[in-house]
């Protein structure tokens, strides 16, 4: 028996038509097809045939299938949250003309493909490259796209240089051997096959498109991350904030995955056991070192990447916490093991990134800040609900800070934002008079935006991009520079 494995995803760019006038089609019922431009009707018919199972019919039979056409339009409008009228209005045509992935939307709606890799270590290989980007840039973007899923799950992606990898990544044009040819510039962008043997998992990009690492052309990182979701077994989402939403968006958030995406990938793959639907939590109740107890989740997170940066760094008890987006590394000061995973694994109440963090030893309390709110962590537990940053006495226009650090000797907590900083008196719990001040004036040598800061052994360590400045607070002098990832043993 011959079995054909259909591609899981085809990203398609359909050119918007110059005029979107409504209505362009009324089902015959009551009527016959609209007299509006046939180009819009052709666009809609091809779209519905590809994504909503509208049956192809011989020319001239459209009149008799008007009610079916309208029903398919309604299905499409319902999927995208449009007004389900069955009429090709401007909003409907605009969605139909948007870049999108080619998985049919008429399949039974489910986030889960129903197939998955039967392992948590998945190999990939790049067989051919685009002409638009340097090879090392493609390597980096592909690795970053896999890391999006690795950070949210128990999966590890390992690159090989053979043709036997689970996921083969190729840049090809037109007919390329899988029965799903590409069509040149501004058409089909890419497609991916679901998990399985042979071509299962393979992901192809049309090299007839213009690929970039930025906002021009099509962003390879964003498209690849979406396609790899399908290669792992995920279907489309109706949530516009989801990476698995069908249409391509040129702008994207710093955190590509929505909460829905994270939930869905963990429903297929488990960190600890490999059982679908099981997302383990790690025990914070150990008596001596709650941060370091329990198993170490082995996730693909390239902590030794030369350009690694952190959003926040803070000591918490006998450990140092390193935050990046919604990911966390925990390094015990007297041990070599590093515990890592999504922040929610360790702090289920915190479902956001952390922008700044500091530790007040005399209270055995840490404060974790996200934009205009902060959480209080005492012992190993997040206490209560988040509170407003204004609690510290900031003026109303301050809605976030870049970094924070507590200086035990002075009893002050310093908050840094852009090129200014504040000093907060922890004893009196008020802001010191005369602030904010300029960072460059009080911290000579620190002339860039501070990403994170931590106080250790009498020095302040400023994390600036991928570097760390060791700052002598007494002498007002930078006394050393090292790589940020050296703090994780790299």
CB 103 within 8 A of CB 8: yes
Please give the full DSSP string across 27-43, using - where no structure is assigned. Answer: -SSS----SS-HHHHHH
230 belongs to an annotated ligand binding site: yes
Distances (CA, A) of 270 to 152, 297, 306, 378: 10, 10, 29, 29
The single-letter DSSP state of residue 69 is H
Residue whose pair of structure tokens reads 């035990």 in the numeric block: 408
418 belongs to an annotated ligand binding site: no
307 belongs to an annotated ligand binding site: no
442 belongs to an annotated ligand binding site: no
132 belongs to an annotated ligand binding site: yes
105 belongs to an annotated ligand binding site: no
* Residue 107 is a catalytic residue: no
The single residue of 143, 170, 227, 426 carrying the catalytic annotation is: 227
312 belongs to an annotated ligand binding site: no
Q: Closest Cα to residue 325, out of 150, 140, 470, 490?
A: 150
Question: Order of strands, edge to edge, in the sheet holding 467-472?
Answer: 452-456, 459-464, 467-472, 477-483
Distances (CA, A) of 199 to 51, 155, 178, 229: 22, 20, 8, 16
Count of helix runs (H) and strand runs (E) in the chain? 8, 25
229 belongs to an annotated ligand binding site: no
Specify the pairing of strand 188-193 against strand 156-159. unpaired
Distances (CA, A) of 169 to 140, 153, 228, 296: 13, 21, 10, 30
236 belongs to an annotated ligand binding site: yes
210 belongs to an annotated ligand binding site: no
Structure tokens at 7: 């591609």
207 belongs to an annotated ligand binding site: yes
Binding residue numbers for Zn(2+): 101, 176, 178, 191, 204, 226, 230, 236, 244
Q: Which residue positions form the known binding site?
A: 101, 132, 166, 176, 178, 183-184, 191, 200, 202, 204, 206-207, 209, 226, 230, 236, 244, 311, 357, 404
Q: Specify binding-site residues for Ca(2+).
A: 132, 166, 183-184, 200, 202, 206-207, 209, 311, 357, 404
Q: Which residues are catalytic?
A: 227
């Amino acid at each position: 028996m011959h079995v054909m494995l259909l591609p899981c995803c085809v990203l398609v760019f359909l050119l918007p038509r110059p005029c979107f006038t409504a209505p362009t089609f009324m089902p015959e019922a009551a009527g016959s097809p609209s007299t509006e431009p046939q180009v819009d009707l052709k666009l809609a018919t091809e779209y519905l045939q590809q994504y909503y199972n509208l049956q192809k019919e011989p020319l001239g039979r459209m009149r008799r299938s008007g009610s079916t056409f309208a029903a398919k339009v309604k299905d499409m409008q319902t999927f995208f949250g449009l007004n389900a009228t069955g009429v090709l209005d401007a909003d409907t045509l605009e969605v139909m003309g948007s870049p999108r992935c080619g998985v049919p939307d008429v399949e039974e709606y489910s986030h889960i493909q129903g197939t998955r890799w039967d392992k948590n270590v998945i190999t990939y290989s790049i067989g051919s490259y685009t002409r638009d980007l340097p090879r090392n840039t493609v390597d980096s973007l592909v690795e970053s796209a896999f890391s999006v899923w690795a950070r949210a799950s128990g999966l590890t992606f390992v690159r090989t240089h053979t043709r036997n990898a689970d996921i083969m990544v190729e840049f090809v044009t037109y007919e390329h051997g899988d029965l799903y040819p590409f069509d040149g510039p501004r058409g089909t962008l890419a497609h991916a096959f679901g998990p399985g043997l042979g071509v299962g998992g393979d992901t192809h990009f049309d090299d007839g498109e213009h690929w970039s690492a930025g906002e021009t052309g099509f962003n390879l990182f964003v498209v690849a991350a979406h396609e790899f979701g399908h290669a792992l077994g995920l279907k489309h989402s109706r949530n516009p904030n989801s990476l698995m939403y069908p249409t391509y968006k040129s702008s994207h958030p710093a955190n590509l995955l929505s909460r829905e995406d994270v939930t869905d990938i963990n429903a297929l793959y488990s960190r600890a056991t490999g059982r679908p639907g099981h997302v383990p939590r790690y025990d914070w109740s150990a008596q001596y070192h709650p941060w370091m107890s329990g198993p170490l989740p082995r996730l693909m997170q390239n902590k030794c990447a030369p350009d690694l940066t952190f959003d926040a760094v803070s000591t918490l008890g006998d450990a140092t916490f390193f935050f990046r987006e919604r990911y966390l590394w925990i390094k015990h000061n007297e041990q070599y093991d590093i515990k890592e995973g999504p922040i929610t694994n360790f702090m289920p109440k915190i479902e956001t990134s952390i922008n700044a963090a500091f530790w007040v030893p005399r209270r055995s309390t840490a404060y974790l800040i996200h934009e205009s709110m902060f959480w209080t962590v005492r012992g190993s537990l997040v206490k209560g609900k988040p509170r407003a940053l204004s609690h510290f006495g900031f003026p109303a226009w301050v809605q976030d800070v870049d970094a924070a650090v507590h200086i035990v000797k002075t009893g002050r907590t310093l908050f840094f934002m852009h090129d200014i900083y504040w000093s907060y008196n922890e004893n009196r719990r008020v802001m010191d008079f005369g602030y904010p001040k300029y960072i460059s004036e009080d911290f000579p040598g620190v002339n860039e935006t501070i990403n994170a800061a931590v106080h250790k052994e009498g020095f302040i360590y400023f994390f600036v991009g991928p570097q760390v400045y060791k700052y002598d607070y007494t002498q007002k002098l930078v006394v050393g520079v090292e790589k940020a990832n050296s703090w994780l043993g790299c």
